[in-house]
Amino acid sequence: MNRILVLFCMTWIALLPSVGMAQIDGEFVKPRTGKFLLKNATVVTVTKGTLSNASVLLENGKIIGVGASLPSEGAEIIDCSGLFIYPGMIDGGTRLGLVEVSSVPETVDYSDVGNVTPNMQALTTVNPNSEAIGVTRVSGVTTVLTVPSGGLFPGTAALINLNGYTPDQMYGGFKAVAMTFPSSGRRGRFDRRSEEDIKEDGEKALKEANEIWDNAKSYLELKKSGAELSYFPEMEQLSKVLSGELPLLIEVNAASDILSAIQWVEGKNIKVIFTGVAEGWRVAEQIAKAKIPVVTGPVQDLPTRQSDRYDTPYANAGKLAKAGVKVALRTDEEENVRNLPFHAAFAAAYGLGKEEAWKAVTINPAEIFGVADQYGSVEVGKKANLIVSTGDPFETRSQILHVFIDGYRIPLSNRHIRLYQEFLERSPGLKAN
């Protein structure tokens, strides 16, 4: 039996109260909070270096101590000798919780009808019980930005912690309005538009975006002047971007579009985050100069052009960082957000370096999203989002042994794991009847 299974079993036996109800067998392990002392680990704080033989004390959802000798009174002690503690990872762009089975339209909720729907709230539709959430968090990804997509202003993204029974319990304190910047790229193999048509479509879309922007500007100005405006939820939400209340997440990927987006943003005096930025490496200097932070990914992706070197998507984050851009990573995934550490590893191996790669999935997204006081490192006072692993969590051979989200100790189980437990040694095995 392998290590991980042993660990599951140990956890189960320890927690198993005797249950004697008919039709129900065994016990469900729930997330639970309390005071925990994670003892004698190597603590990778990300922001304050790596501490050997250090402990981390958690209480009331917060990290209340990081150091060599911490008081253990009242705390459940978890021996972490030989283990590593990292901050929980943050995925800067996903559709987690917004979709259950992507080919079944009834379960797809990240996109609504209309081109300008900034009032659509991702947080509303997050399904706290999505199977994908349980599958994701055991990988060490504890927090994600979940983003609507589709039209020009598809909706408002929300930062969520991967624990909780209601969206509000999950909410991580950051929202932003998403924008799909008019694109000069092809949407896929079936996009057979001529070069002229693509250009024309792009210009038309930008013109429309400007008109809508002007509309929102008028809305804000009139509102500020105390005018009684008729109900217009789209403009209401968009005006929050103009007023600086909400940042704008601009999805932009082709190099020329990135340059237009930089130009478009100029003088608007709004908070902007670029997302995607697949061809960012081509214009890294300009992005750095514009001081716009970037959430890039997926890292494991194909080059955008046939002529591009095979590893351009792997190397993109590294090149952006080298140019001075603040970079966070994303998977842009729904069910496989769990691969974030591996995307980070590829970025690390192809130029970003391990240390920067760690920042790109912890403190950088926290800073970009303005929640660095709560997230992104193992520091006293921050939210107790952290993981304990047997080694570098970016390596597939490492096992994540404990996950804490919001101070809750998360049971290391989900449907994938339960199926493993049931079917590894199926009974009956091979026999008819």
Partner 1 sequence: MKKLFYLLLAFFGLGCNFSQAQVQKGSVLIKNATVLTVTKGNLESADVLVQNGIITQIGKNITAPTGVQAIDATGKYLMPGIIDAHSHVALDVVNEASAPITSEVRMKDVVNPFEIGIYRALAGGVTVSHAMHGSANVVGGQNATLKHRWGAKDPADIIMQDAPRTIKFALGENPTRVHGRGNGIQPRSRMGVEAVIRNGFNEALQYKKAWETYAAAKNTKGNTLTPPAYNERLQTLADILDGKIIIHCHSYRADEIYMLINVAKDFNIKKLVFQHTNEGFKVAPEIAEYTMGASVFADWWAYKMEVYYSTAFNAAILQRNGAITSINSDSAELIRHLYHEAAKTQRYGGLTDDEALAMITINPAKQLGIEDKVGSIEVGKQADLVIFDSHPLSSYAVPQMTFVDGIKYFDVVADKDDQRQLVSATEMVEPIFLRANEEAHRCMQDVEIFLDAFDVAFLKEKH
Q: What residues line the site for partner 1 (CB under 8 A)?
A: 2-4, 100-105, 108, 131-132, 135, 183-190, 195, 253-254, 276, 278-279, 298, 300-311, 334-336, 338-339, 341-342, 345-346, 348-350, 354, 394-399, 415-417, 419-420, 423-426, 429-430
Burial degree of 139 (CB within 10 A; 0-12, 13-18, 19+): buried
Minimum distance from CB of 398 to partner 1 (Å)?
8
DSSP classification of residue 350 = I
Which CB sits closer to partner 1, 234 or 257? Answer: 257
Which CB sits closer to partner 1, 235 or 254? Answer: 254
Three-class secondary structure of residue 50 per DSSP: strand
Three-class secondary structure of residue 39 per DSSP: strand
E strand or H helix at 200, and its extent?
A: helix 195-224
Q: What are phi and psi of 70, to 5 degrees?
A: -120, 145
Minimum distance from CB of 214 to partner 1 (Å)?
27
Which CB sits closer to partner 1, 97 or 172? Answer: 97
Which CB sits closer to partner 1, 224 or 309? Answer: 309
Per DSSP, what are the bridge partners of residue 160?
A: 144, 171
Which CB sits closer to partner 1, 231 or 310? Answer: 310
420 neighbors 105 (Cβ within 8 angstroms): no
Which CB sits closer to partner 1, 252 or 265? Answer: 252
Minimum distance from CB of 270 to partner 1 (Å)?
24
E strand or H helix at 273, and its extent?
A: strand 272-276
C-alpha–C-alpha distance, residues 421 and 423, integer Å:
6
Minimum distance from CB of 370 to partner 1 (Å)?
28
Minimum distance from CB of 382 to partner 1 (Å)?
26
DSSP string, 211-248: HHHHHHHHHHHHHHTT--PPP-HHHHHHHHHHTTSS-E
DSSP string, 80-126: -TT-EEEEPEEEEEE-TTTBS-TT-GGGB-S--SSSB-TT-BHHHH-
C-alpha–C-alpha distance, residues 40 and 51, integer Å:
10
Minimum distance from CB of 384 to partner 1 (Å)?
24
Angle (nearest 5°) at CA 422 between 420 and 428: 130
Minimum distance from CB of 400 to partner 1 (Å)?
9
Minimum distance from CB of 2 to partner 1 (Å)?
4
Which CB sits closer to partner 1, 200 or 373? Answer: 200
- CA 226, 228, 233, 238 torsion-angle sign: negative
Which CB sits closer to partner 1, 139 or 163? Answer: 139
Minimum distance from CB of 211 to partner 1 (Å)?
24
With CA atoms as reference, report the closest residue to 213 among 118, 290, 292. 118
Which CB sits closer to partner 1, 32 or 309? Answer: 309
Question: Residues of 13-35 as b/e, b for ≥16 C-beta within 10 angstroms?
Answer: eeeeeeeeeeeeeeeebebebeb
Per DSSP, what are the bridge partners of residue 87?
A: 386
